[in-house]
Amino acid sequence: MKKHLTRLLMTSLLSLSGFYSGPLYAQASSQTIEIAYLKLVQDQGPVLSNIFPIPEDSGQRGAELAIQDSNTTGRFLNQKYQLSQVVSQDFSAISEQAATLYSRGIRFFVTDIPAKELQLLAQQLGDQALFFNAGTQDDALRTTDCVSNLLHTIPSRAMLTDALAQWLQVKRLTRWLMITGTTPEDTAYAEAMKRAAKRFGHKIVAEKHWSFDTDLRRSAQKEMPVFTQTDEYDVVVVADERGDFGEYVLYNTWYPRPVVGTQGLTPVAWHRVVEQWGAAQLQSRFDQLAHRWMNNKDYAAWLAVRSIAEAVTRTKKTEVDAIKHFIASEQFELAGFKGRKLSYRAWSGQLRQPIPLVHARSLVSQSPQEGFLHPVSELDTLGFDKPESQCNLMKNF
Amino acid sequence: MKINIPIAAATASLLLFSSLALAEVAYVSNEKDNTISVIDLDTYEVTATLDVGKRPRGIILSHDQTKLYICASDSDTVQVMDLATHKITKQLPSGEDPEQFSLHPNDHHLYISNENDALVTIVDTDTNEVLAQIDVGVEPEGMAVSSDGKIAVNTSETTNMVHWIDTETMALYDNTLVDQRPRFVEFSKDNKYLWATSEIGGTVSVIDVASRKIIHKVTFKIRGVHSDKMQPVGIKLSDDGKYAFVALGPANHIAIIDAHSFEVIDYILVGRRVWHMAFNADQSLLLTTNGISGDVTVIDVAKRKAIKSIKVGRYPWGIVVKSK
C-alpha cells in the first residue's frame, strides 16, 4: 500500500511541476493501433483426466498482457494500443464480428480458431487484414494450405515433435512404443511424431491405439501394463492432446520406461517452469494480471501482439502494408524470453522459436539440441523447412 | 635457535599485517543461494559466505568502500551491509523487485531499477527516503549515473529503450531505441559516450550522450559459436579509456573492444553464461561472474588470459572489488 501511495504522490507532483508536458510527451500527433483477438470456443469433450481444467481465458490474458507491455513502451513514442475481443462458440458470429471490426478500420487479428475456419476467415477479410494464428498447431497450414495473410506464433505440431525427437536422439532413446488416442488431433500428433522419427532416425517398435472407455483412474495399474506389453522399447510416446488417458500411462508401463509426448516429458511453446532468459519477469507480470499460470496460447497471443507492436515501434507506422513489410525484413527481431531472437519464416509465416521440454515441475531441456545444425538457423531444424513447404508467403509482404 | 624464532615470528606477523592492509577482496552475489561470497584476491580463495536477502543480484560499494549495497530482488529491498562486520545494518525502501542500481557521485542518491513495476526509484541512503519514482519502459534493468552526476540512464528490456533522466529534476528527458533486450549501460570516463548492451539483439550500442543518437554498433563473431549465442550483458570500460570489456553470456567469452575504433580485438574464454565483471584497483585483474558454471573467472588483463577459476555459490550474478 505504502509503495503505491508513494508512487501516486510522485506522479502527481511531477505532473504539477510540468515535467510531463515537456518535449517528450508533446511529439507529433499520437498513433493508435487497434488489434482484435478472436476466439472460437471449442468443446473438448469429456476427458478422464479432468483434475486440472484448462483455463477458459487461455490466450486472451496473454494478448491483454502484451497490450499492457506495449502501452508502457508506447507512452514514450506517443503510440497507444487497444484490444477488442470476440469470444464465441459460434463461428458465424465471429466471422460477422470480424467483418464489422474490419469495416471500423481494424487490420490486425490475433486468433485462437481451428485451421479450417481460420483459413476461411482470413481469406474472407483479404490481404489488407493481417492474421496471427495463436491457437492451432495444424501442420497443413504451414505446408499445403497456405494462407497469404496468416502468420503463426504458436508452434506447429511438427516443431514440437521434432524438438522432442532431437532430445530422444541425444538421450539415445530410439526405440519407441507409440500410443495414439481417438481424435483427429491425436492422429495428427502421431503423424508428426512419425515424421520426426524418420527425420532423426528413431524406430517405432509398436503402435497401439487407445480406444478403451473405462475410467483409468481406478484401474490403470491393472490395464496399462498389459496394454503396453510389446517388443522392448526405450520410451513410450503418447499422442493424447486432450489429456484423456495419457496421464495414466506414466509408471504403469510393462517395461519401466519414460513417457513422452502429450504427457510425461512434453514439448511446449511455454510453461510455468520456463524461467531462464528473463522469463521469470514475464511469468510474474502475467501472474499479477491473470492470477494463474501462463500457458501455450497465452504466450502465442503475447508474441503476436508484441510482433505488431515491435514493428510499429521500429517503423513508427501503423499501416498494415508497412507492418507486413517490416516483419518480413531482416531487421525484424523479437525477444521472446527463450534465449534467442525470434523471427518469422518467409515461406510459412511460422515464428521460429526454441521449444522447451518440460514435465509438471521442471524444465528438462530446450531444443534445438546442440549439434543439430542448419545452414541458416538451427531453429529451422524444428518443423517444416523451406523445401518441405509449398508456401511462399512473404514474397508478397 | 631461540633467537631465530622471534625474528621469524616478527617477519611473519609483518607479512600478515601488510597482506591484511593490501589484500583486495571481491564480493559476489549468488542469485539462487541468497548469499554473498567473499573472495580474497591474494589467495583466490572464498573466505566467507554471507547470508543475505532473497535473489541477490546487483551489488555496489559506497564510495569509501565501507558499505555494500545489495539488490535483494525477491525481498523487495536494498540491503546495506557494513563491510567491517559483514552485518546487514539496514534495509532501504527500493520499490518492488530491485535488480540493478547505481550510486550518484554525491554518495547518497541511489538509482534503482524496479524490474516488475516499470519504475526507477531514487532513494536517499542517509535518510531512507524515496525521493522519486519515475515511469520507464517494461522490465527496467541497466542503471548508470554519469560521473559528473548530471545524468542517470536506465534501460528497459522489453521496451528496448535507453531512458535518459535529468538528476536535478528527477524526470525523463529523452529515450533512445536500441536493439532487443538492453541489459547494461556504462558511461565513458569523459561522459561523452554511453555504452549499452543488447542481449538478444547481440549488439553493443555506443551512444553519443549529447545527441542521444547511436553512433556505432558493435557486433561479435567467434568461430564455432552461433551468432545468436552472442548475448552481450555486462560492460567494463578501462580507466585509461582504451578498452571496453563485454561479457557475452552463453557464448562464454569476454570480448575486448578498442574503445576508439570500436573494433573487437580479442576474445577470452571464461565460464558458462558470463554475466558481469569487476576490475581490481589497478585494473591488472578483471573478474567475471559465470551464472551457469557457478564460478568466478580471474583474467590477467595485460596478458588477456584467464588465470584462475574460483567456485562460488549457485548463479553468481553481481561482483565488486573492495581495495581499501
Where do the structural domains in chain B lie, given as residue ranges?
A: 24-323
- The letter for the amino acid at B83 is L
What confidence tens digit (pLDDT) does each residue in A101-115 have? Answer: 999 999 999 999 999
**Contact status, residue A232 vs residue A174, Cβ threshold 8 Å:** no
Mean pLDDT throughout B19-27? 76
**Set of cell numbers at residue B239:** 580507466
* pLDDT tens column, B88-132: 999 999 988 899 999 999 999 999 999 888 999 999 999 999 999
pLDDT tops 80 at residue B84:
yes
Task: Look at residue B22 in the predicted model and tell me its pLDDT.
Answer: 62
Other C-beta atoms lying within 10 Å of the C-beta of residue A386: 13
Question: For residue A52, what pLDDT band results from cuts at 50, 70 and 90?
Answer: confident
**Which residues in chain B are closer than 8 Å to A11, comparing Cβ atoms?**
133, 135
Return the H-helix or E-strand segment holding A310.
helix A296-315
pLDDT at B13 over 60: no
Q: Count chain A–chain B contacts defined by CB atoms under 8 A.
A: 86
Task: Tell me which of A14-18, A138-142, A232-236 is least confident.
Answer: A14-18
Q: Tell me, yes or no, if A396 comes closer than 8 A to chain B by beta carbon.
A: no
Q: For the residues A62-66, what does the mean pLDDT come to?
A: 98
The mean predicted confidence, pLDDT, of chain A is 90
Sign of CA dihedral A382, B231, B58, B26: positive
Rounded mean pLDDT, B68-91: 95
Task: Select B24-323's CATH number: 3.10.250.10, 2.130.10.10, 3.40.50.2300, 3.40.50.150.
Answer: 2.130.10.10
Question: 3-state DSSP call for residue A330?
Answer: coil
> Whose grid coordinates read 539496514?
B90
Q: Hey, what amino acid is at B118?
A: A
**pLDDT above 70 coverage of chain B, percent:** 93
Over 80: is that where the pLDDT of A50 sits?
no
Average pLDDT over residues A304-327: 96
User: Averaged over A231-239, what is the pLDDT?
Assistant: 98
> What is the band of A395 on the pLDDT scale with cuts at 50, 70, 90?
confident
**β-strands A150-152, A130-133 pairing:** parallel
Average pLDDT, chain B: 93
**Residue A219 · residue A188 · CB < 8 Å:** no
Q: Which amino acid, A81?
A: Y
A211: pLDDT strictly greater than 90: no
Using a CB–CB cutoff of 8 Å, tell me whether A280 touches chain B: no
CA-to-CA distance for B197 and B142, rounded, in angstroms? 9
Q: Which residue of A has its CA nearest to B76?
A: A3
At residue B18, the pLDDT reads 45
Q: Is A10 on the interface with B (CB under 8 A)?
A: yes
CA distance A314 to chain B (A): 8
Cβ-defined contact of A335 to B95 (cutoff 8 Å): no
> For the residues A260-274, what does the mean pLDDT come to?
97
**Domains and their CATH numbers in chain A:** 29-155+271-358+371-396 (3.40.50.2300), 159-267 (3.40.50.2300)
Considering only CB atoms, which chain A residues are within 8 Å of B96?
3
Cβ of A341 and B169 within 8 Å? no
User: Is residue A28 very low, low, confident or very high in pLDDT (cuts 50, 70, 90)?
Assistant: low
pLDDT score at A223: 86
Instruction: Provide the shortest C-alpha distance from residue B300 to chain A (in Å).
Output: 29
Query: How many Å apart are CA A165 and CA B300, to the nearest integer?
Result: 44
Q: What's the start-to-end Cα distance of chain A, in Å?
A: 49
Say yes or no for a CB contact (<8 Å) between B250 and A339: yes
Please give, rounded to a whole number of angstroms, the shortest distance from the CA of B179 to a CA of chain A: 9
Residue A24 has pLDDT above 50, yes or no: no
CB A397 within 8 A of CB A151: no
- Report the chain B residue with the minimal C-alpha distance to residue A13: B132
Map grid coordinates 529491498 to a residue.
B77
Determine contact, residues B139/B115, Cβ cutoff 8 Å. Answer: yes
pLDDT value, residue B9: 46
Is the separation of the CB atoms in A59 and A132 below 8 Å? no
pLDDT band at B2 (very low <50, low <70, confident <90, very high): very low
C-alpha cell at A136: 492451432
How far is residue A307's CA from residue A109's CA, in Å, rounded to a whole number?
Answer: 12
Is the pLDDT at A23 greater than 80? The verdict is no
ipTM for the assembly = 0.80
- What angle in degrees, to the nearest 10, is found between the helix axes of A184-199 and A157-170? 40
Is the per-residue pLDDT at A66 higher than 60?
yes
What distances in angstroms separate CA B9 from CA A101, B19, B55, one per listed residue?
A: 89, 15, 44
User: Which pTM value belongs to this model?
Assistant: 0.87
When mean pLDDT is compared across B93-102, B172-181, B205-214, the lowest value belongs to: B93-102
**Of residues B153, B170, B161, B111, the one with CA closest to residue B137:** B161
Read off the pLDDT of each residue in A158-166 and give the average, rounded to a whole number. Answer: 98
